Amino acid sequence: MSDIESISVEVVYALPHKQKIISLLVEPGTTAYQAAVKSDITQHFPDLDLENAPMGIFGQTLGTKGLAPAKQYVLQAGDRVEIYRPLTSDPKEARRKRAAKSASAEE
């Protein structure tokens, strides 16, 4: 694969205490999932399950809002594949707890 035929993309993943951004060249037609696999990001995060991890491009989750799923989304030059970690708590429940705590502090 020559550089002229390649496109440049990034694959990123972050934990609260560690993050990794991997730049790589891929062939045109490469999917977001294929780029994530090719990046070998799991060497830095052994517990990362690429098969089931949600992914996005610049904050837009793949497989939602009309975007193809990660295994079908064909990358464009400059795309940033973001691998999302699972939520540790339900955002609605966390908001309820904060509101209840704030209400009790005001009393």
CB 32 within 8 A of CB 9: no
Residue 80 lies in a domain: yes
Q: Is residue 2, in this structure, part of any structural domain at all?
A: no
The CATH number covering residue 13 comes to 3.10.20.30
| pLDDT tens for each residue of 37-85 | 999 999 999 999 999 999 999 999 999 999 999 999 999 999 999 999 8
pLDDT at 94 over 90: no
The answer to whether residue 1 sits within a structural domain is: no
Give me the amino acid identity at 75: L
Structurally, the chain folds into a number of domains equal to 1
Q: Which domain range does residue 85 map to?
A: 7-106
Amino acid identity, position 103: A
Backbone dihedral angles phi then psi of residue 26, each to the nearest 5 degrees: -130, 160
The answer to whether residue 67 sits within a structural domain is yes
3 state SS of 2: coil
Which pairs from 35-43 meet CB under 8 Å and 24+ separation? 35/9, 35/11, 35/75, 35/81, 36/11, 36/70, 36/81, 36/83, 39/11, 41/11, 41/13, 41/83
pLDDT tens-digit map of 5-36:
899 999 999 998 999 999 999 999 999 999 99
